[in-house]
Amino acid sequence: MMNWLGLHGRAALQAMRRLLRQPLGTVLSALVVGIALSLPAGGYLLLDNVATLARGVSGTPEISLFMIQEAAEEQVRGIEQRLRRESGVASFRHVPPDEALRQLAQSGLGDVLGGLPGNPLPHAFVVTPRGDDPAVYEALEARFGEWDGVEHVQLDSAWVERLHALIGLGKSAVLLLAGLLGFALVIVTFNTIRLQIMTQRPEIDVSRLLGATDPFIRRPFYWFGSLQGLLGGLVALGTVWMTVEALGGSVESLATTYGAVFVLSGPGALETVSILGFAAFLGWLGSAISVRRHLAERLR
Amino acid sequence: MILFDEVVKRYPGDYVALAGVSFEIRHGELVVLSGHSGAGKSTLLKMIPVIERPTEGAVKINGQDVSGLRASAIPYLRRNLGLVLQESRLLFDRSVFDNVMLPLVITGHPPRDAARRVEAALERVGLSGRDREMPAGLSGGEQQRVAIARAIVNRPSILIADEPTAHLDTAYASEIAALFKSFNEAGVTVLVSTHDESLFARYRPRRLALSKGILVGDSA
């Protein structure tokens, strides 16, 4: 085990030396990988921020439940009890007809309401559902509509659904972009490793004659590709952070004009690890394919 | 120790490099393989580390048939052999020390012990104190000495050399021949091919002569 780790350590050092031996090439490759990766990484973060912003501005949607005009007191109490038992309900508020009328009057319709013979408003409940899944809201709406004494149920979630759909579409587009650019990065690494193999050919041939195994020969190339990918990942993170710093103030000001407090946030710990891991994986993949393609004949 | 049993090597186009060669080399022998260019010397030597495989027949080392050895096992066979080729095949972007160190790096030797072995190997070939130099700054004979140090640093029991004196003048070539004799005296089995038998004549080696792929002489 120690020997295996030692061989990996040696291969990693060898790869690092190769990277340092050609600083310009290393920097350029890292920039290509980094800039390409920063597009999907930045896009993902932007969507994440938009989702946060949307939640902040709208809060959770509410479901309004209107009872029949002639609902009896027992029916109202029954609805109250059923809402308490309902697991999808986070909270609810009973709005009696008198209170509803008062609110309506305060909203500027006092003259109109004054001309009416009585209070035409029914008992109502304003329900705050649990979670943020539009499907759950719709299920609750349907269930409430079937309850005894309920005349009408109103779910104000259409725009939330649209927003969710848009964010979902955006995330799919970002994934597609990440896939395409990832493929391009694999090709970049593939070609870099191909050139490495060409320049290292004398060493590879001599090593084989001296008893080097296939993994011994391949290992430094795997490390080279992974380290190059990792450097690209660091460049991508730097680019995303610089963008966040550059745009943060303007976005904050824009949010203020809509009455919202919003701070554009950069990648968190999980996103950081994901970006670096993804970049290193792409580098490893490109080198693995290249080594398989260009060393296979020579290692036979 | 090394057994060739009716070994035939045929290349595409029906060119026969070896035509039923048989001989056995025992432990501790010094064997000189001679013959003109194209006689099959290099092909024969390449069969021992399985750089080439016989078309027919068998090559056995210490009783193990290596002619059918699977690819993943070949490196482990080569680690127990010392190989010196016609060209030194040194890595010119690395120091003498790093070149000789390479076989020990491959086998994962502890660095401190490996460094000691490299120093000892360089001392053995008369290049003590030259370890930090680059191969390009050495003469042809010195480069070949570095290649020999690299071949013996793993302390192989068999040393195979394919025309190691081919590109050297007589003085350097005699020094190299003496080196091989000294390894043989230390108990290493040495098989060396040459087109100039006289270099080794004073050491009274066993002589194998090849001509057009046929073993035409064996002084054993």
Chain A to chain B Cβ contacts (< 8 Å): 44
Chain B residues with CB under 8 Å of a chain A CB are 49, 51, 71-72, 75-79, 83, 85, 89, 91, 102-103, 105-108, 150
Identify the pLDDT of residue B55: 93
Contact indicator for A291, A195 with CB cutoff of 8 Å: no
> What proportions of chain A, in percent to the nearest 5, are helix, strand and coil?
75, 10, 15
Helix (H, G, I), strand (E, B) or coil at A151: strand
DSSP B124: H
The DSSP bridge pattern shows strands B158-162 and A150-155 to be: unpaired
CB contact A7 to B (< 8 Å): yes
In this structure, what is the dihedral angle of CA atoms B198, B202, B205, B208, given to the nearest 10 degrees? Answer: 20
Structure token pair of residue B65: 């048939």
Q: Which residue has the tokens 């750089």?
A: B51
Structure token pair of residue B82: 């010392």
For residue B162, pLDDT over 60 is answered with yes
Lowest mean pLDDT among A54-58, B121-125, B200-204: A54-58
Lowest mean pLDDT among A17-31, B16-30, B40-54: A17-31
Contact indicator for B104, B92 with CB cutoff of 8 Å: no
Cβ contacts of A206 on chain B, cutoff 8 Å: 89, 91, 102
Best A4, A196, A203, A210 residue to mutate vs chain B (most B CBs within 10 Å): A210
A28 φ, ψ (degrees, to nearest 5): -65, -45
Cβ contacts of B107 on chain A, cutoff 8 Å: 211
> Which residues does residue B58 pair with via DSSP β-bridges, in sequence order?
B5
Mean pLDDT of the B117-132 span: 92
Distance between B86 CA and the closest CA of chain A, angstroms: 13
* pLDDT tens profile A75-128: 899 999 999 998 888 899 999 988 888 887 777 776 777 777 778 889 999 998
Alpha-carbon dihedral sign for residues B181, B184, B188, B194:
positive
CB contact A14 to B (< 8 Å): no
Mean pLDDT of the B134-151 span: 92
CB contact A194 to B (< 8 Å): no
Calculate the average pLDDT of chain B.
Answer: 91
Identify the pLDDT of residue A300: 42
Structure token pair of residue A152: 């009408």
Best B53, B69, B106, B150 residue to mutate vs chain A (most A CBs within 10 Å): B106
Contact indicator for B83, A198 with CB cutoff of 8 Å: no
Identify the pLDDT of residue B146: 94
> What proportions of chain B, in percent to the nearest 5, are helix, strand and coil?
35, 25, 40
Q: Express as a percent the part of chain B with pLDDT over 70.
A: 100
Contact indicator for B52, B42 with CB cutoff of 8 Å: no
Query: ipTM, 2 decimals?
Result: 0.89
Mean pLDDT of the B135-144 span: 90
Given CATH 3.40.50.10420, say whether it is the number of domain A62-156: no
Contact indicator for A250, A239 with CB cutoff of 8 Å: no
In this structure, what is the dihedral angle of CA atoms B200, B205, B206, B210, given to the nearest 10 degrees? Answer: -10
Confidence of residue A299 (pLDDT cuts 50, 70, 90): very low
Identify the pLDDT of residue A60: 64
8 Å CB contact of A207 and B51: no
Cα angle for residues B133, B135, B141 (degrees, 5° grid): 110
A18 φ, ψ (degrees, to nearest 5): -65, -40
Lowest mean pLDDT among A161-165, B34-38, B216-220: A161-165
Q: Which one, of A219, A160, A155, lies nearest residue A13 by Cα?
A: A219
8 Å CB contact of B106 and A211: yes
Contact indicator for A44, A245 with CB cutoff of 8 Å: no
Lowest mean pLDDT among A165-169, A286-290, B29-33: A165-169
For residue B56, pLDDT over 90 is answered with yes
Identify the pLDDT of residue B181: 93
Lowest mean pLDDT among A64-68, A180-184, A295-299: A295-299
Q: Where are the domains of chain A?
A: 10-57+167-299, 62-156
Best B51, B87, B105 residue to mutate vs chain A (most A CBs within 10 Å): B105
Nearest CA in chain B to A200: B91
Q: In what order do the strands lie in the sheet containing A63-67?
A: A89-95, A124-129, A63-67, A150-155
Calculate the average pLDDT of chain A.
Answer: 85
* pLDDT tens profile A147-196: 988 999 988 766 666 777 788 888 888 889 888 888 988 998 899 899 88
In angstroms, the CA B33 to CA A174 distance is: 68
8 Å CB contact of A202 and B89: yes
Contact indicator for A124, A64 with CB cutoff of 8 Å: yes
The pTM of the full predicted model, rounded to 2 decimals, is 0.70
Mean pLDDT of the A21-50 span: 87
CB contact A205 to B (< 8 Å): yes
Nearest CA in chain B to A3: B108
CB contact A214 to B (< 8 Å): yes
CB contact A300 to B (< 8 Å): yes
Structure token pair of residue A174: 């970002």
B172/A300: higher pLDDT: B172
Please name the amino acid found at residue A60.
T
Confidence of residue A54 (pLDDT cuts 50, 70, 90): low
* pLDDT tens profile B112-122: 899 999 999 99
> Which residues does residue B30 pair with via DSSP β-bridges, in sequence order?
B190
Nearest CA in chain B to A208: B75
* Residue A50, Cβ density class (10 Å: 0-12 exposed, 13-18 middle, ≥19 buried): middle
Structure token pair of residue A233: 């990942």
User: Of A206, A213, A216, which is closest to B91 when you measure between CB atoms?
Assistant: A206
Residues in chain A: 300
Cβ contacts of A298 on chain B, cutoff 8 Å: none
> Which residues does residue B191 pair with via DSSP β-bridges, in sequence order?
B31, B160
